[in-house]
Amino acid sequence: MRILVTDGMDKTAMAELREMGHEVVEQFYEPDQLGKALRDFDVVVVRSKTKVRANHIDEAKGSQLKLIIRGGVGVDNIDVDYAKANGIDVKNTPKASSQSVAELAMGHMFSCARYISIAGHTMREDKWEKKAYGKGIELQGKTLGIVGFGRIGQHQGVMAKAIGMKVVAFDIFHIPGIEEQLGIPYVEMDELLAMSDFVSVHAPAVDGGALISAENIAKMKDGVVFIDNARGELMDIDAVTEAVESGKFGALFMDAFPGETGIIHVPHDEDIIRTPGMPYFKLKYLRSFVNVYHTPHMAFFTEEAAEQMAECGVNSIYEILTEGKSKHEIPC
């Protein structure tokens, strides 16, 4: 079996596939070359940089391509329904990064509550800023509102409850029994925004405009801490900037941002943050505020998560080989 890896994969997993007798090719293809290239492979493994669209599938259908694996959770870079309609299965690896993304969200909250980042920076400058940053807040007793209550949201909710926070969740899909199992109730979006001291988003990109709009920001508490470890397109960047300027947001944490490309899948010496289509100067302005924290889409990227993503991908390939299809569904 020929396997194309376009955006990187755990080296151990690739070695395992080669030991199983498969040919593994590491090669990124530009969009105008991808469809033709896919015809020569049985499986393609992508992350976020490679976009597999209907035109690529049109070029590849009828060939030996059987499976597209997305290393990660979001599959918005793949036309899933169109691929399946043309006999090409699509799988992702959402279980792999649930803990890592949820832990980073919690880390953001601890950092904000005790000014850890800015206090550390000022100490490096030989500034003793105890009066400015020494008096923080405790998370215990505060309310966390989680928007998007899939695996990641559930992991964060459990951790937050363990330290004494009140947790509420909003999702357009209600999982039967999960409220009783975790002790975390579903509420309507407006109610969540109005009652939460911290709002953490773990939702896919949506059609029809930004979820975090000026209208929804107005419904939040003054001084709310907002965390987006999901997709930058969920934010109206102008509305978010105004919320920071006015103090509506007590702090803003962004691990994703509008217009970003696959950050870890390109050479690190490239000037990623100036990528065409990304509001570079708006983001640079936001980063000038001490209560804005911007990380390079790294929430999912831990040693453990990378290993689990690769393992899930290998398992899907093995199932295709032995059973003709993978047991994993989207989301699996």
Interatomic CA distance for residues 209 and 184, integer angstroms: 28
Interatomic CA distance for residues 325 and 306, integer angstroms: 23
Closest CA to 53 of 26, 25, 27, 29: 29
Helices (H), the chain: 11-19, 31-38, 54-60, 80-85, 94-113, 116-124, 130-133, 151-162, 178-182, 189-195, 214-218, 237-246, 280-286, 303-323
User: Does residue 18 have an active-site annotation?
Assistant: no
From residue 294, alpha-carbon distances to 10, 47, 213, 303 in Å are 26, 21, 19, 21
Closest CA to 228 of 205, 249, 257: 257
User: Cβ(187)–Cβ(169) under 8 Å?
Assistant: yes
Burial status of residue 261 (CB atoms within 10 A of its CB: 0-12, 13-18, 19 or more): middle
**Phi/psi of residue 17, each to 5°?**
-65, -40
Interatomic CA distance for residues 217 and 186, integer angstroms: 20
Choosing from 70, 202, 260, 328, which is the catalytic residue?
260
Closest CA to 147 of 109, 96, 199: 199
Choosing from 108, 231, 233, 328, which is the catalytic residue?
231
Beta bridge partners of 12: none
Interatomic CA distance for residues 283 and 327, integer angstroms: 41
Interatomic CA distance for residues 298 and 302, integer angstroms: 8
Interatomic CA distance for residues 136 and 251, integer angstroms: 13
Choosing from 56, 155, 297, 328, which is the catalytic residue?
297
User: Does residue 294 have an active-site annotation?
Assistant: no
User: Does residue 188 have an active-site annotation?
Assistant: no
Return the active site residues.
231, 260, 297
